[in-house]
Structure 1
């Protein structure tokens, strides 16, 4: 399938079959997400891959999202809760090493990032980091569709429970959005043959010339 056909094929799966996503395909999806667009390249979020069935059972208790427990894998996108100068300095060191530059050559860029990050309130940085995570989520959705791996993005979950069960706050992270990965159960999912409903392109997109 080409990209458009892959995106027509994908939908938010409601019921998953008991079939595992291969480690190869999972790695491709994670690599694509890691390569996703990110403001200034800072990547102020992390992805937690949850495979353990017992942990996922705890995460899914009382939820209206059975995909949390039924899918092959659950990806938890988590924003860095308190962006600091140390995060920026680690990024500068990584950039200098990757591009073969002296870290001093990045001083102007570093100062701009420090000014931006420290000039905002913590919660404003969390909101910004969350938006960055959603960009990564979009990339993961497309990458999965290209591999014929089904997916379900989810917002309506107990963030406090997720943070507690996964120990995210101790890692300086806050869960913001989920992505289930697996394969649709064609016999049980009521939406498996439903046509995708979208606006006509000439209504959705407006040209300014």
Structure 2
């Protein structure tokens, strides 16, 4: 499959076909792609919530300012960040490294101690900002994966996060919603699908320094 062709095919879908739905295999692929996203330090301070229930999405619609994609898409993906990123969180990652890679404590300790000290120096606002950046990385990765798999998607920042957190019970899970992305299939009459992409020339957006 031609990568550039698929990236040109992709667009922020404004109208979804309500009769078509992603199957379990496609959803499983998206979950794994999310989990494989390259994130800072490998700490994975993000989680993905997959919402398929139409009634639940109906409750979320007014909290997304009536953007119909929330209910018309096959599924709604909600990108969340962990609210508590502390020493215990960091240590749990390194414990997993030991199990998966069988890395010795002697090798892991310097890097682990560095991260713990670094995060201890950060304010809660700085840690949240860092975690939010990771959510954007994950969303960018998912947009590319969707394009390659011919799954339509629409990345969104415009929604009331606190309302989403309440409806989805995220507060009880110590999570905070950051971004949302309906996924599914474009409607045949979505006029935005045929529009040319408006982008700078590559010579304007890319610098080569020798």
Could you state the TM-score of these two structures normalised by the residue count of structure 1? 0.95
Give CA deviations for 1:79-132 in whole Å, capped at 9, x if unaligned.
111211111111011111110123453111111111121211112111100000
State how far apart, in whole Å, the 1-side matches of 2:157 and 2:151 are. Answer: 20
State how far apart, in whole Å, the 2-side matches of 1:44 and 1:118 are. Answer: 16
What is the Cα deviation at residue 29 of structure 1? 1.9
State how far apart, in whole Å, the 1-side matches of 2:67 and 2:118 are. Answer: 37
Which of 105, 116, 119 matches 2:118? 116
State how far apart, in whole Å, the 2-side matches of 1:76 and 1:117 are. Answer: 26
Q: Does 1:57 align with 2:58?
A: yes
Structure 1 stretches of at least 4 aligned residues deviating more than 4 Å after TM superposition:
none
Q: Does 1:16 align with 2:16?
A: yes
Give CA deviations for 1:181-205 in whole Å, capped at 9, x if unaligned.
1000012x12121111111111110
State how far apart, in whole Å, the 2-side matches of 1:81 and 1:2 are. Answer: 39
CA contact (8 A) 1:82 1:122 kept: no
1:93 corresponds in structure 2 to 95
Q: Does 1:34 align with 2:23?
A: no
State how far apart, in whole Å, the 2-side matches of 1:50 and 1:173 are. Answer: 15
CA contact (8 A) 1:82 1:126 kept: no
Which of 185, 188, 204 matches 1:186? 188
Any stretches of 5+ residues in structure 1 without a counterpart?
none
Give CA deviations for 1:146-170 in whole Å, capped at 9, x if unaligned.
0100000000001111011111122
Any stretches of 5+ residues in structure 2 without a counterpart?
none
State how far apart, in whole Å, the 2-side matches of 1:133 and 1:120 are. Answer: 19
Tell me the number of residue pairs that the alignment of Structure 1 and Structure 2 aligns.
208
Could you state the TM-score of these two structures normalised by the residue count of structure 2? 0.95
